[in-house]
């Protein structure tokens, strides 16, 4: 029973942590950096730059 509760708490905390981190990243406007990189051809990825 204790193991099950620990497991549940671990996942609940991880989901809360994940959501908090994503929100923190969005507030810091990190998505704009992702967009800037992803919306242009990545020359490194395709073996040119």
Backbone angles phi, psi at 44, to 5 degrees: -65, -45
Half-sphere exposure of 18 (CA within 13 A, CB side): 6
Smallest separation (angstroms) from other proteins to the CB of 23: 7
> Cα(43)–Cα(10) distance, rounded to whole angstroms?
40
- Scanning residues 16 to 45, which ones bind other proteins (CB under 8 A)? 17-26, 28, 30-42, 44-45
- State the nearest-atom distance from the C-beta of 6 to other proteins, in Å: 8
Question: What does the binding site for other proteins look like in residue numbers (CB under 8 A)?
Answer: 3-4, 7-8, 10-11, 14-15, 17-26, 28, 30-42, 44-49
């Amino acid at each position: 029973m204790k193991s099950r509760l620990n497991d549940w708490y671990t996942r609940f905390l991880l989901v809360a942590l994940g959501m908090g981190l994503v929100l923190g990243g969005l507030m810091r406007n990190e998505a704009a950096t992702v967009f800037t990189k992803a919306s242009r051809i990545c020359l490194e990825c395709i073996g040119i730059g």
